[in-house]
Amino acid sequence: MGNRIKTYFLFSILTIILVCIGGFFGKSGLITALIFAFLLNWVSYFFSDKIILTMYRAREVKENEQPYLHRIVDQLSQIAQIPKPKIYIINSQTPNAFATGRDPNNGVVALTTGIIELLDENELKGVISHELSHIKNRDILIATIAATIAGAITFLARMLQYMALLGSMDRKDRREDNIFGLIAILLFAILAPIAALIIQLAISRSREYLADEQGAKICGNPLYLANALKKLIDGVKKYPMVNANPSTSSLFIVNPFSGKTLLNLFSTHPPIEERIKKLEEMII
């Protein structure tokens, strides 16, 4: 419940930032920015699964090709009470997985060949349960809404910067209060998109914690996923996904760039150590 409340709180902050920056443009400017951002993300929402699967050359596997995987996914889908998602395989040594699809009726679980070879059946159940939780919680939809609001904030901030700079050039009155006002507007226009990005990433991290928690309940043992994460972080360091697109990193169960140093504030994933700790605490 804590991660859900955190998500709602972060969405509220995003909305407040949007309303504040939209106030500089009036109702029409705010609506225009929202429509522009919504259209871009609407396309992403409905077609991102096909784009991402094509990007990673993922191939759908039928039950007669991978009965082992289908048995696991079918069993866990029934426990999660969602339709069985399609299963895709990515030919990569990097051990990783992600879920996509705009709702539970269009769910997809994608697994690399590396993760299938690395994990035992229980650990694989932990990973798949995590991904099924993303599908059940409609996290793709939540990410799209967050991206829409953040996109609108960025759009309005850029317009505000141009307006402030053009206004300062046209203004003949150079009184000190006007200069300070201009600086304040520019600072807000610069910092608002950064704050929106940080909040968007924080929402992504909170959904990862929630998927870990619910995934542990679906597979029946938190240690299945905890043990899998321990192997995955080492596996990604050994075989980093060199052809991965940074814009898709938030989809994967572990960051495909985990071997690189990232500031936690700008990371799409919570620290692996913290995720493992929370999972192990669930059995106490």
Confidence of residue 97 (pLDDT cuts 50, 70, 90): very high
- Active-site positions read 131
CB-based contact 10:206 (threshold 8 Å): yes
Q: What is the mean pLDDT of residues 110-117?
A: 96
Q: What is the mean pLDDT of residues 73-101?
A: 94
* pLDDT tops 60 at residue 3: no
pLDDT for residue 127: 97
* pLDDT tops 80 at residue 250: no
Q: What is the mean pLDDT of residues 124-140?
A: 92
* pLDDT tops 90 at residue 39: no
> What's the domain range around 80?
2-281
- Pick the most confident of 55-59, 96-100, 155-159, 226-230: 226-230
* pLDDT tops 90 at residue 139: no
Task: State how far the Cα of 212 lies from the Cα of 134, in Å rounded to an integer.
Answer: 9
- How many domains, in total, are found in the chain? 1
Task: Give the length of the chain.
Answer: 284
Q: What is the mean pLDDT of residues 182-209?
A: 76
Q: What is the mean pLDDT of residues 135-154?
A: 75
Q: Flag the least confident range among 61-65, 100-104, 261-265.
A: 261-265
